[in-house]
Amino acid sequence: MDPFTQGALGAAFSQSFADKKKIPVACLAGILGGLAPDLDILIRSSTDPLLGIEFHRHFTHSIWFIPIGGLLVAAAMWLVFTKLFKIKEWDFKTLSIFATLGYATHATLDACTSYGTRLYWPFSNARVAWDAVAVIDPLPTLIITIFVVLSYRRKSKKLARIGFACFVGYLGLGFWQNYRVTTAIEQIAASRGHEIERLKLNPTLGNLIVWRTTYQSRGNYYVNAVIAQPFSSPTIIEGASVPVIDPETIYPTLGNDSVGRDDIRRFDYFAEGYLFQYDGTIADLRYSAEPHKIQPIWGIRVYPENPEYHVDYVSFTRPNGRALNVTWSMLMGTYEPAPAEPKF
């Protein structure tokens, strides 16, 4: 999720295990530990555009890296606060415990989103994505931040635990909504005579009500929005369908061992196999500015005439005012499809 949420969750978890005197150090160490795994965004290359997305949520997000990451954060804090600011009571052992607790929350929370996290690396390269919460959701962030602040001010680990429990409860609601949306899509697919081969769910930004869904059947992907209000049956907003592409055969002029072909495979792995052709590019179908549309947010441009060239990473339309209005109208139950919108 976003850095602010990661820091707040790390703080709450660390404060939950601290006595009154150690609440301040637990708060700071938890925040820094919760933020630290995302330092992998510094891994970039001026010649390889895919290196950044390849190593984001990689080894720093593995559960096996947690103790190492916690120790590294603690070492940095110990050097800064004991050597530079002369805070002698912040011993290395204390910093290690609280930094590691904060670090431990990061990858698990990221795995609850749809982006994909190498949670079990190096024993598995699978991108774990439990599709339970959006990458940005202000409501749980606000709640846990309030309890972190109250815990810090009142030196109370009980308040931190309440905030952490509220956050976990929100995630639990996300998993329940995931189940409801999955059931709705399975029913609509069956009514169309489709057998679902793969299914991807994405809660939209800032809520657990409006979901983007993509399923594969008979060589096509089918995109729908699902509005899952808490006390009523989910509503389906039909989207569009696009053909599935094969990363091994698209652009036949690219050799099997060429740089271009390998880049397509890397992007296919990043996108969990949900690739389609869009406006002269290969794009990631998992995300779009509008829940039921196919217009992507990012993709790659391949140069089949130059097999040894790296692909270009392309950013398309980000969520804008119109897209946010569409999502909001779905959330409020006032959305009406435009006459030109495609039907299955």
Neighbouring C-beta atoms of residue 247, cutoff 10 Å: 18
Confidence band, pLDDT 50/70/90 cuts, at residue 318: low
What mean pLDDT comes out for the span 98-120? 97
Task: Tell me the per-residue pLDDT of 196-213, one tens digit each, with 9 for 90 and over.
Answer: 999 999 999 999 999 999
Cβ pair 323, 287 in contact under 8 A: no
Distance of CA 2 to the CA centre of its chain: 9
What mean pLDDT comes out for the span 262-276? 97
In which order are the strands placed within the sheet that holds 312-315? Answer: 275-278, 281-284, 298-301, 312-315
Confidence band, pLDDT 50/70/90 cuts, at residue 320: low
* Enclosing H/E stretch for 298: strand 298-301
What mean pLDDT comes out for the span 226-244? 94
Cα–Cα distance list, 19 to 14, 207, 317 (Å): 11, 35, 48
CA distance 66 to 299: 31
CA distance 300 to 316: 10
- Model confidence at 289: pLDDT above 90: no
Which residues does 254 contact at the CB level (< 8 Å), separation at least 6? 260, 261, 264, 302, 304, 307
Helices (H), the chain: 3-15, 23-35, 51-55, 66-78, 92-111, 138-154, 157-191, 259-270, 321-332
Tell which phi-psi region holds residue 333, choosing left (phi > 0), alpha (psi between -120 and 50) or beta.
left
SS3 314: strand
CA distance 275 to 263: 13
Tell whether omega for the bond before 203 is within 30 degrees of 0, i.e. cis: no
The rounded mean pLDDT for the chain is 94
Cβ pair 50, 267 in contact under 8 A: yes
What was the pLDDT predicted at 319?
62
Cα-based angle 207, 208, 211 (whole degrees, multiple of 5)? 100
Neighbouring C-beta atoms of residue 261, cutoff 10 Å: 20
| Residue 25 burial (10 A CB sphere; 0-12, 13-18, 19+) | buried
- Model confidence at 330: pLDDT above 90: no
Length of the chain: 344
